[in-house]
Amino acid sequence: MIARTHRLPVVRQCKLVELSRSTAYYRLRQESEENLAVMKQIDRLYMERPTSGSRTIKSRLERRGVRIARSRVVRLMRLMGLGVIYPKRHTSSPGKGHKIYPYLLASTEVTRPGQVYAADITYIPMAKGFLYLAAVIDWHSRKVLAHRLSNTLDASFCVEAMEEAIVRYGAPDVFNTDQGAQFTSEVFTGALKAHGVRISMDGKGRWLDNVYVERLWRSLKQEEVYRHAYETVAEARKGIADYLRYFNEERPHQGLDNRTPDDVFYKRKPLPKAA
């Protein structure tokens, strides 16, 4: 997909295909096939019960016939960016010296599209290796506004997704995230400030504050990711993009009165109910 011998710089090529720059230099993560298989099981167990810590995950793996030391479970969960959501999550640890912003949505009624955006990161297993996915959603409609894949947990792919969402759909009043180092970084918060956006961050243990993104991850993995073993980044990118398009345009949501996120975001009139 990205040709380093092309006359266009790699950065420009990545912009044209909407790919995180870090992913352009992707190499399969150097984990054994055994560890990759265990990580896939850990991810499924975590999606089922996000309150599970390393002890619970270890116990559930052993009930499935996987003999494993807790220290190994801890290491793999950290590598995946996972951790028990209460009282804290590994991906929600702020970077050293990063400013933490207050949570602004406790008494805010979200009544329209474009009022509040939210972002989060999740682990994406592949046939041999793995990626991280960042997505930005509109809180009111659940519409996925932008996403990026990366093979590292740096802030760049989160900034790229956030910038795309704002360029395509406009700046929200409030942008909400967890306290992860990617979102507390100066490059991320500085970009939001430049757009005049108020920054909101979940308190520790308040994973439900970003519940719409958590539900997106569950749907994406159960309906798309776990059904395919992506061989390449290009396959993962296409499969995930196709699913998110379906999620926005075709998949009805009970919480939206069986309308799609696009229906709500673009304020389309609901279809008349059958007599």
Per-residue pLDDT tens for 15-61? Answer: 554 555 555 544 445 688 888 989 998 988 888 877 778 899 999 99
Specify the amino acid at residue 31. Answer: E
CATH number of the domain enclosing 156: 3.30.420.10
Structural domain count, the chain: 1
Indicate the pLDDT class of residue 246, thresholds 50, 70 and 90: very high
Inside any domain, residue 253:
yes
Residue 130 DSSP SS3: strand
What φ, ψ does residue 193 adopt, rounded to 5°?
A: -60, -40
Inside any domain, residue 107:
no
Cβ within 8 Å of residue 13, ≥6 positions away: 2, 3, 6, 19, 24
Out of 45-49, 189-193, 212-216, 268-272, give the one with best mean pLDDT: 189-193
- Residues 259, 72: Cα–Cα separation, whole Å: 43
Instruction: Give the CA-trace dihedral at 268, 269, 273, 275, to 10 degrees.
Output: -140
Inside any domain, residue 63:
no
Inside any domain, residue 94:
no
- Give 9: exposed, middle or buried? Use CB within 10 Å, 0-12, 13-18, 19+: exposed
Cα radius of gyration (the chain): 19
Inside any domain, residue 175:
yes
Cβ within 8 Å of residue 39, ≥6 positions away: 31, 76, 79, 80, 123, 125, 130
Cβ within 8 Å of residue 239, ≥6 positions away: 224, 225, 228, 230
pLDDT digits (tens, 9 = 90+) for 68-86: 999 999 998 888 877 544 3
The whole domain housing 156 covers 116-265
Residue 57 DSSP SS3: helix
| Predicted structure pTM score | 0.78
Inside any domain, residue 60:
no
Inside any domain, residue 144:
yes
Predicted pLDDT at 97: 57
Inside any domain, residue 257:
yes
- Residue with the larger pLDDT of the pair 13 and 151: 151
Nearest C-alpha neighbor of 273 from the set 261, 262, 263, 259: 259
Residue 64 has pLDDT above 70, yes or no: yes
